[in-house]
Structure 1
Amino acid sequence: MNPSTALARVLVDELVRGGVRDAVVAPGSRSAPVALALAAAERDGRLRLHVRIDERTASFLAVGLARASGRPVPVLTTSGTATAHLHAAVLEADVSGVPLLALTADRPPELRATGANQTIEQPGLYGDAVRWAADVGVPEAGREAVQNRYWRSVVSRALLAATGALSGDPGPVQLNLPLRDPLLPDGEPALEGPWAGRDDGAPWTAGTPASLPAEPLAQGPRTLVVAGDGPPAVGRAWAAGAAAAGWPVVAEPSGGAWTDGAVRGGALLLGVADWVDAHRPERVVVVGRPTLSRPVSALLADPRVRVETVVTTPRWPDAGRSATLVTRAAPPSGPPADDGWAAAWRAAGARVGATVDAALEAETGLTAARLARDVVAALPAGALLVLGSSTPVRDVDRLAVPRGDLTVLANRGVAGIDGTVSTAVGAALAHGGPAVALMGDLTFLHDLQGLLTGDGEARPDLTVVVPDNDGGGIFAQLEPGRPAYARDYRRVFGTPHGRDLVGVARAMGWEAAAIGSADELPAALASGGPRVVVVRTDQRAEADLAGSLREAAGRALA
């Protein structure tokens, strides 16, 4: 099956699974794959097809079908001015709340802005009139399973947005479909194997209508809660609900669910494949946005696991394109149904934690990894902890003992390192009590001016702790740190700054000192702020330690 045909067949299949019963086509060449897939679906009795020679007429016909039926109705056009003729109907659907789907076939990106025939800038063509818009991307050969999951997820999201299932605000949606030749099908293969959808004709991602009250999730099968970054109050509520239901929780530090009952070192535990295979959850409930751990992402992509995602903000919450259900569900409420499986997760976290503790304490000197664990442990109850992106937040996630009596914040929205010092200062001023920020050296230097406070400005009770590995140490733990890339590593990724951060901090008017042992840390944190505490570390040694901790976790769970 050529890529354009594959996209068309999968798209139409998922539209039908999502409740589409009528579709409208205005003829064209670039839209041919989708038009033929719609015609095939009509022959199979899966939908009713309507064809009109004029795009404006076609689009208002779709508005009428959608308005009367209450179901989403797609209208398909070819590229160029054909797409502009949908605009009036899109505007009507916007104001009237009609679930119209504008399927706009397009030239591939290499033809845009080149003078190519019948080519305009179609992405974003309808502006704010649509509830959601996606430039779907050109289908490619050799990526069948990934693209199938992506396309089906996009269609599901488009239908949920058009019907207002999550927002309560139905209206039009645009899916822009750039297609390359060949545009005509090469046979009629079945949608099986890598092109298969959910069992029993179910949509890839279903949603709970916004008009229904948020009901607690059912006890159901063996369930693991994965709590990412999100509103702290929501995270705390889900941590409590999961505890009542007997569900283990793997939580990121900044989401509110990182409480005493969370599985310690969940990211390390999930990296032990044999243990996970033996204790795999049947269902994973995702709360917030998981942003830190590749093992968590791998679990969510596992086709053997049912993923249900809880909406905590108006943003779409399914980055992995794996959710079977996206819902506004409330936290569960007991009684717990624990057959020992959930207890095994908590016990495994404790074993991993004990092994990590032993490995960290066997190290000579104060490593960044131990620093992350010990900073969390040393803070008084009620303290604020602000975590920089890159390595520190991941070290805390993997190595520290979860604490529900701290307020933990991190800029995980887009996970940049910029503005972290200023964020920490602002949070500390609002918090009003002891506050600590843990951030890498490049994060610290990136927002150095955040240390400046003018005359008459309030100064925060903030201690900024900086593991200084003289550059971008996280890259030593990722693919760029492999020996094959050693020639250019230091200059392009390691990026040594060569600065004395204690002197830099003092020049900005803050008290500052360097420490070299774990014994010095409690006193440094207890001294109060504004203060900078620097711990000098080594990029390669930290990367080696990260690897040895993963191996130790595997041994602990063998």
Structure 2
Amino acid sequence: MNPSTALARVLVDELAAAGVTDVVLAPGSRNAPLSMALVDADTDGRLRLHVRTDERAAGFLAVGLARSSGRTTAVVTTSGTAVANLLPAVLEAHHGGVPLLVLTADRPPHLREVGANQVIDQRDVFGRSLRFFHEFGVPQRAPAQQAGWRSMVDRALAHSRGLGVGVPGPVQLNIPLVPPLLPDAAAGTGLDQAADWPEDLHGRADGPWTSIATEATEDVLSGLDVPAGRVPMIDAPAPGERVLFVGDLTHPAAGPLAALGHVVLSEAGGAAGASVLSAGAHLLDLPGFLEPALPDRVVVLGRPTLFRQFGKLLADSVVEVDVLAPQAGYSDPSGRARRVAPVLAPLAGPGEPDFVRTWQDAQRRAAAAVAGELAGWKLASSPRLAADVVAALPDGATLVLGSSQLPRDVGLAAAPRDGLRLIANRGVAGIDGTVSTAVGVALADPESPTVALMGDLTFLHDVTGLVIGPDEPRPDLTIVVSHNNGGGIFHTLEPGEERHASRFERVFGTPHGTDLGGFAEAAGWRHDVIEEPADLAALLSAPSGLRVLEIPTGRSDLRAEYARLRAAVHASVHV
């Protein structure tokens, strides 16, 4: 067995022994030893392999698998620019707390800085975004290597789960490999064929080589139901204290806290839970309501960055702010947080009665006003589309939200409901990689119907994510695309003001005139154009296979539509 094959087989064997279930591979020449070891492990049922030819899509597929499952997913590339194409996914994993293991094949160090083919310095591509980095030595035919190889895999996996910082994230193992890069003819497919190697290459039969105890992060990320005294805590509401909880788009504590009788606003509005105040973002826009309803304290759930109204509240010097988040990954742009802790102290009961009643009464009137306004709109309206998608999904479904306009539409228009799991790449909130992320989410949880909701630019930005080879695991996934031929969100922001109209369309609207169905069908996805709400609801209630639902929408009226929603809420709350 040659040295590169030995190293690759040991690394892949240790991944499987340590519990890694999914690996995404972008094939190349230098990572051929890893590719061969991975396909053998997939054939033997030790892990599941996903092959993609676009490294950027591969990276976000791994992010989707990891974000959905909560387990570290590995992504493997060859050397050179292949590594650099993983940067957007690594940044999202870093800022979004996603456990990701990056395995990058490399040329040996002596080929750096001498003009050798396909060689870059891969040791600092991801900079400070990594939780951990290690570069293996060039493998040699020598004893006493495999223990170090295996223990380093386990160390990297522990750091990806949050070792040392308490927040999961990306790690990198850089792997110099030297020819021969393919197995010898007599090497077979496993470690049993390594009789000519100077040491036994087998790992432990009962698990990973090195079992590293890490402070469990999964059970504290919600901030609830953690034994008292185990970790620092945010104070529970005191008797008579008016506490408002403000959650990010996908925070798991929003729904349970609201169900317990507390006032909870979420960036996801009603999609976060039936008891969450679906009109929260609207109510924060009404000074006449907010001034008498202002809380004594706001507890921030996670990292809300979607709505400016939320940021304005958190910057108000009158309000005390606590942040419920792991200390290493908390969000406090205004610098006003008094306390930061990953856990909320046990709750004695519901929120302060008068405070809760004030907000719930306003919520009932505002939600009815929003629903009444939307009822007269067509599906071609983006807020109406978002509300209809949320309402139509079956209980237990997963909704993957793209960035930009549509998550805002969900937060402003969706009616309250339970039974949804929300997933979004809000770490750095880019539109890149959304199709691939959704594919990964669906593959990680095949029992949950999965629907992704995104705009046409988001869809086109990751169109290679649609390409799934004939031998690859295939998800049950419906992608709903709001097709307004450009960037709708800018109509609702400052560039959409009338004074910029003469220059708006080219540099902000960015029309593209692309046939989305052509892309979808070329990649083997069924494509339908939907214009009626009843047709959309019927299709979202059934298994999909690979399906793209295109809904033609407008964007020039978005600013006016938002104004109509605000006006309806304002009139209903009587302030």
TM-score, normalising length from structure 2? 0.57
Name whichever of 411-420 and 266-275 sits farther off: 266-275
Aligned length: 350
1:513 aligns with 2:513: no
How much has 1:401 moved relative to structure 2?
2.4
In structure 2, the residue matched to 1:421 is: 435
Answer yes or no: is the 8 Å Cα contact 1:264–1:350 preserved in 2. Answer: no
Question: Which residue of structure 2 lines up, in the alignment, with residue 410 of structure 1?
Answer: 424
Task: Choose the corresponding residue for 2:565, options 533, 549, 552.
Answer: 549
Deviations 1:90-149 (A, max 9, x none): xxxxxxxxxxxxxxxxxxxxxxxxxxxxxxxxxxxxx99xx9xxxxxxxxxxxxxxxxxx
* Cα separation, 2, equivalents of 1:438 and 1:469: 14
CA positional deviation for 1:524? 2.4
> Is 1:218 equivalent to 2:230 in the alignment?
no
- Per the TM alignment, residue 211 of structure 1 is displaced from its structure 2 partner at its CA by 9.0
Asked if residue 347 in structure 1 is aligned to residue 366 in structure 2, the reply is: no
State the one-letter code of the partner of 1:459: R
State the superposition RMSD in angstroms.
Answer: 2.7
Deviation for aligned residue 1:504:
2.6
Question: Match for 1:476: what amino acid?
Answer: H
For the pair 1:500 / 2:515, whether they are aligned, the reply is yes
8 Å Cα contact 1:372-1:392 kept in structure 2? yes
The structure-2 alpha-carbon separation of the partners of 1:378 and 1:331, relative to structure 1 and needing over 3 Å to count, comes to farther
Q: Are the structure 2 counterparts of residues 286 and 509 from structure 1 closer, same or farther at C-alpha, using a change threshold of 3 Å?
A: same
Matches within 5 A, 1:173-252: 213-215=231-233, 217-220=235-238, 221-229=241-249, 232=251, 235-236=252-253, 239-241=255-257, 243-244=259-260, 246-252=261-267
Instruction: Pick which of 499-508 and 467-476 moved more.
Output: 499-508
Between the aligned partners of 2:427 and 2:234, the Cα distance in structure 1 is: 27
Name which of 311, 315, 338 aligns with 2:325. Answer: 311
Give the Cα separation in 1 of the matches to 2:351 and 2:474: 51
What is the distance in 2 between the residues matched to 1:379 and 1:331?
A: 34
> Of residues 316, 333, 342 in structure 2, which corresponds to 1:302?
316
2:505 corresponds to which residue? 490
Distance of 1:226 and 1:267 partners within structure 2: 10
Give the superposition deviation at 1:253: 3.0
| Local SS of the residue matching 2:298 | strand
Work out the CA distance in 2 between the residues paired with 1:536 and 1:337: 43
AA matched with 1:222: R
Equivalent-residue separation in structure 1 for 2:386 and 2:234 (angstroms):
35
The residue correspondences of 1:1-150 to structure 2 (distance < 5 A) are: none
| 3-state SS of paired residue (2:322) | strand
Higher helix share: 1
Q: After superposition, give the CA deviation of every residue in 1:156-175 in whole Å (9 maximum; x if it has no partner).
A: xxxxxxxxxx969xxxxxxx
Which of 261, 268, 285 is the aligned partner of 1:253? 268
In the TM superposition, 1:293-442 aligns within 5 A as: 293-312=307-326, 314-432=328-446, 433-442=448-457
> CA deviation digits over 1:422-474, x for unaligned, max 9?
00011011110311100000000000010111011122111100111100010
Report the alpha carbon displacement of residue 529 of structure 1 after superposing the two structures with TM.
2.7
Contact kept, 8 Å, 1:441 with 1:469, in 2: the verdict is yes
Q: What TM-score does the superposition give when structure 1 sets the normalisation length?
A: 0.59
- CA drift at 1:519: 1.9
Q: Which amino acid aligns with 2:290?
A: V
Q: Is residue 506 of structure 2 the alignment partner of residue 481 of structure 1?
A: no
User: Does the 8 Å contact 1:378/1:522 carry over to 2?
Assistant: yes
> Structure 2 CA distance, aligned partners of 1:262 and 1:337?
13
Q: Deviation at 1:247?
A: 2.2
Query: Against the structure 1 CA distance between its residues 217 and 466, is the aligned structure 2 distance closer, same or farther, given a 3 Å change threshold?
Result: same
- What is the one-letter code of the residue matched to 1:274? G
Task: Answer whether contact 1:286 1:308 (CA < 8 A) is retained.
Answer: yes
- CA distance in 2: counterparts of 1:461 and 1:397, whole angstroms: 26
1:466 aligns with 2:484: no
How far off its partner does 1:421 sit? Answer: 0.2
Q: Distance in 1 between matches of 2:555 and 2:358?
A: 35
Q: Would the aligned equivalents of 1:241 and 1:331 in 2 still touch at CA under 8 Å?
A: no
Amino acid aligned to 1:352: A
Q: Cα distance, 1:502 vs. partner?
A: 2.2
CA distance in 2, matches of 1:239, 1:374: 20
Larger CA Rg, structure 1 vs 2:
1
**For residues 377 and 337 of structure 1, what CA distance do their matches in structure 2 show?**
28
Of residues 291, 295, 299 in structure 1, which corresponds to 2:305? 291
The alpha-carbon deviation at position 405 of structure 1 amounts to 1.4
| Other structure's SS at 2:550 match | strand
Structure 2 counterpart of 1:225, one-letter code: F
- 1:232-257 Cα shifts (integer Å, max 9, x gaps): 5xx33x6434543x420001339x99
Paired with 2:504 and 2:470, the residues of 1 have a C-alpha distance of 43
Q: Which runs of 4+ in 1 moved over 6 A?
A: none
How many Å separate the matches in 2 of 1:471 and 1:239?
34
Of the candidates 279, 282, 296, which is equivalent to residue 265 of structure 1?
A: 279
1-structure distance, mates of 2:462, 2:452: 13
Query: Equivalent residue for 2:51?
Result: none
Q: How far, CA to CA, are the matches of 1:337 and 1:375 in structure 2? A: 31
Name the residue aligned to 2:169: none
Q: In structure 1, what is the Cα distance between the partners aligned to 2:360 and 2:230?
A: 34
